[in-house]
Amino acid sequence: MHRQIAGKLTGPVTKWIVLGAAIVLVAIMAPLNGKLVDVQNNEASSWLPGSAESTKVVEELTGTVDPNDIPTLVVYHRPGGLTDADLAAMDEDATKIAEIKGVTDKGAISPNGAAALAATGQKVPQLISKDREVAYVAFTFNFGKNGWIDIPDAADQVRDIAKINGVTVHLAGYGGQAADASDAFSGIDTNLIYIALLVVIVILLLTYRSPILWLLPIISAGFSYMIAGGVVYLLAKYANLTVNGQSQSILGILVIGAGTDYALLLIARYREELRRHENRHEAMAFALHRSAPAILASAATVVIGMLCLVFADLNSTAGLGPVLAVGVSVTFLVMVTLLPALLVICGRWMFWPKRPTFGSPEPTGTGFWARIGGRISVRPRTVWSITAALLLIACLGLFKLDPSGLSTEESYTKKFDSIKGQTLLVAHGLSDTSNTAQVITDTDKLPEVQQAMSTVSGLGEATDPQDIGHGRSYFEATIGKDISSTAAFDIVKATRDAVHAVPGAHALVGGGSAFYLDNKIASQRDTRVIIPIVLAVVLLILVLLLRALLAPLILMGTVILSFGAALGIASLLFTEVFTRLGIFESNEGFAHTDPGFPLFTFVFLVALGIDYNIFLMTRVREETINHDTRKGALIALSSTGGVITSAGAVLAATFLVLGSLPLVFLAELGTAVALGVLLDTMIVRSVLVTALNLDLGAKIWWPSKLDKGDAAATPPPPAQEQELANA
């Protein structure tokens, strides 16, 4: 940003105009932000691409099988055996449940009701275990497309009905899982943000040691979140942007974390300039002029990196990219307009008790990071060699990473009701009848397809076939395994292999487990495709920013190394610490990760991790023009070390807040990203990159004009270093 433009944005009059415009915009967007949860689409069918086999099944069954049906089970358990009175009470419960708004015309079927139907020759599932300790009532909810909004209230009504003295009752099946998922995401639009803001406030208080200054970054971050949420709401409502609970949770965390990072960088540069300029408006003009390019490059890297997700097959992942890109774009604009205006409106007193007075020395010139730079400069090659070797060793933890997927029980950090019910069914030899393989085939090949399926182990008896028109027929078979387990995936694969082998049948296999399997296949494809795209895009941005080739290649190498080390350490934490120490109520899921975990971690760490290298290297380049690369590297480290470390702590802490939601995927993602960010700020940027700068000197700018001779990597005395920093 040109200094004249920067000066106009923060002038004596324009600062008030900027503040007024921001307040008006927030007044418009804040109510829309509050409605963001209303436009979420958490339907399973909205996540997969049209090419997925389970999606094709849903499309063919439109008009025959309602995709909004939510099969639900009420599981009853009495140790020692359910009595006849218990079974009679279950009959009464089934009658009352059938009257709940949202329960389909099929009603609810109890064990006694199933026995009566079986006596007439109809095919019915086994609803009571052989030991009589467990039984269940089965029914189906249907609230239309946005049923996930209504199901929590309906689930509470079922729980109020299903009460028998001495009998433990659990809501399971699709309906129980949907109710638990709603519980997991409850308060996501408020609680998660409040926790993240509280964490950031504590870190800012420790960073600035000022009881007042932290308010301005927090106010600006709050404005960013409200405006970004409003924009995303409009895009979701009128442009068919896919938003779900997962993307909304990450949006809030990213906006607060990235916004605070940008604020820390700007305020640090503004504080430097206040020591050099008596007029605070002039100081801000210089600070904005010098820091905005780095902030812009950082934001652009994140935005473009997130937009690479649109190449994903998974609709949920493809939708996440634009959601986060909007959030970061809005955050950048707020942090280079509203925050500077607030800073110049408030004046120097906001820094109390350590106000940066005109002509006072800059403390970073002789601070901690200046001393670190001096030690690295003695043997830079040894330092970067040892650091890189240690990071490579940490990458060995990747062998413990198992992205094969999470079963229902492994998906949550809490023992939810549906999981308890599912566990009881499995333990007592009952199948979850809500989980089926849905099969469509040409009618004339129906007998051959059914015969082929009869050889698949793990499938229940097929239902009577139903004609769905156009020469096609449909039937189901129960899968006796957890819906998202590897065992269920194996059954789906075997079923598909069997029916696809029938010539001319054009058979398709869908259903709940098929959906999760197709999700896994799409996630693995997205990881293979998107990671190279992100690497290429980020490398191009660095080349354009630094106007060199060698430096960007080295920086990309360090970020990839940091990613591998973070993922390796995180994998060891999941498998060797979380699962053993019982950090969460339920730790089963930490032995595995979601198939999309490596991709999400990579995109966040590369897009966000490169930020800190951008902050450092743009300052190195700025100082190199006036001095040489080695001196510039030392000045840049001493000047940016504190602010980048604080920024990393903020971003790491905000991502760790994701662990407050009872979802294993988000807990793992937050942990891995936080580890990666801390590695980037504390090790990669401060030690590895600085040592490489000092070792290579001007060669790092090859083939630009800055690729010229350099002085030896000898740190200047503290006084001289301060003089260089103030030059």
Residue 602's closest CA among 220, 309, 248, 279? 309
Assess contact for 173 and 418: CB atoms under 8 A.
yes
Q: Which residues pair with 15 in a beta bridge?
A: none
Kind plus residue range of the DSSP H or E element containing 140:
strand 134-141
Check residue 429 and give its pLDDT.
Answer: 83
Strand order, beta sheet including 168-172: 103-109, 134-141, 70-77, 168-172
Average pLDDT of the segment spanning 43-57: 75
State the first-to-last Cα distance of the chain, in angstroms, to the nearest integer: 21
Residue 155's closest CA among 144, 166, 139, 168? 139
What is the pLDDT of the chain when averaged over all its residues?
84
Report the C-alpha gap between 573 and 581 in whole angstroms: 10
Angle made by CA atoms 503, 509, 511, in degrees to the nearest 5? 170
Six-digit token string for 664: 């294993």
Phi, psi for residue 62 in degrees, rounded to 5: -60, 125
pLDDT reading at 463 higher than 80: yes
3-state SS assignment for residue 61: coil
Q: What is the DSSP letter of 717?
A: P
pLDDT reading at 725 higher than 50: no
Instruction: Give how far the C-alpha of residue 87 lies from the chain's centroid of Cα atoms, to the nearest Å.
Output: 45
Length of the chain: 727
Phi, psi for residue 466 in degrees, rounded to 5: -125, 130
**Residue spans of beta strands (DSSP E) within 402-452:** 436-442
Average pLDDT of the segment spanning 693-697: 89
Report the C-alpha gap between 612 and 617 in whole angstroms: 8
Average pLDDT of the segment spanning 71-76: 92
Phi, psi for residue 74 in degrees, rounded to 5: -110, 115
| Dihedral angle, C-alpha 220, 221, 227, 233, nearest 10 ° | -170
Q: What is the DSSP letter of 163?
A: -
3-state SS assignment for residue 575: helix
Report the C-alpha gap between 232 and 322 in whole angstroms: 9
Check residue 118 and give its pLDDT.
Answer: 74
Six-digit token string for 295: 């902030």
Strand order, beta sheet including 508-510: 466-469, 472-478, 436-442, 508-510
| Dihedral angle, C-alpha 222, 225, 226, 230, nearest 10 ° | 170
Report the C-alpha gap between 477 and 431 in whole angstroms: 11
Which domains are present in the chain?
A: 6-39+214-348 (1.20.1640.10), 71-184 (3.30.70), 370-415+524-727 (1.20.1640.10), 436-510 (3.30.70.1710)
Q: Which residues pair with 141 in a beta bridge?
A: 70, 103
In terms of pLDDT, which residue wins out, 574 or 440?
A: 440
Assess contact for 142 and 102: CB atoms under 8 A.
yes
Report the C-alpha gap between 82 and 27 in whole angstroms: 59
pLDDT reading at 231 higher than 60: yes
Residue 164's closest CA among 96, 79, 77? 77
pLDDT reading at 581 higher than 70: no
Instruction: List CB contacts of 502: < 8 A, sequence separation 6 or more.
Output: 441, 445, 448, 449, 452
Report the C-alpha gap between 682 and 372 in whole angstroms: 11
pLDDT tens sequence across 422-436:
889 888 888 777 788
Six-digit token string for 561: 């190394």
The tally of CA atoms less than 13 A away on the side-chain side of residue 645 is 15
pTM of the predicted protein model? 0.81
Angle made by CA atoms 195, 201, 207, in degrees to the nearest 5? 140
Whole-number CA gyration radius for the chain: 30
Asked, as a colleague might, if the bond just before 353 is cis with ω within 30 of 0, I would say yes
For the ranges 18-27, 616-625, 670-679, the lowest mean pLDDT is seen at 616-625
Angle made by CA atoms 695, 699, 700, in degrees to the nearest 5? 80
Number of Cβ within 10 Å of residue 46's Cβ equals: 15
Number of Cβ within 10 Å of residue 393's Cβ equals: 11
Average pLDDT of the segment spanning 201-224: 87
Assess contact for 497 and 531: CB atoms under 8 A.
no
Report the C-alpha gap between 413 and 423 in whole angstroms: 15
Report the C-alpha gap between 72 and 706 in whole angstroms: 68
Check residue 380 and give its pLDDT.
Answer: 92
Residue 720: band (very low, low, confident or very high) from pLDDT cuts 50, 70, 90: very low
Angle made by CA atoms 408, 409, 414, in degrees to the nearest 5? 115
Percent of the chain with pLDDT over 90: 29
For the ranges 137-151, 182-196, 484-498, the lowest mean pLDDT is seen at 182-196
pLDDT tens sequence across 242-291:
787 778 878 888 898 888 888 888 888 888 888 888 888 888 888 888 88
Residue 721: band (very low, low, confident or very high) from pLDDT cuts 50, 70, 90: very low
pLDDT tens sequence across 649-694:
888 888 888 877 788 888 889 889 999 989 988 888 889 999 998 9
Asked, as a colleague might, if the bond just before 552 is cis with ω within 30 of 0, I would say no
| Dihedral angle, C-alpha 533, 535, 537, 538, nearest 10 ° | 160
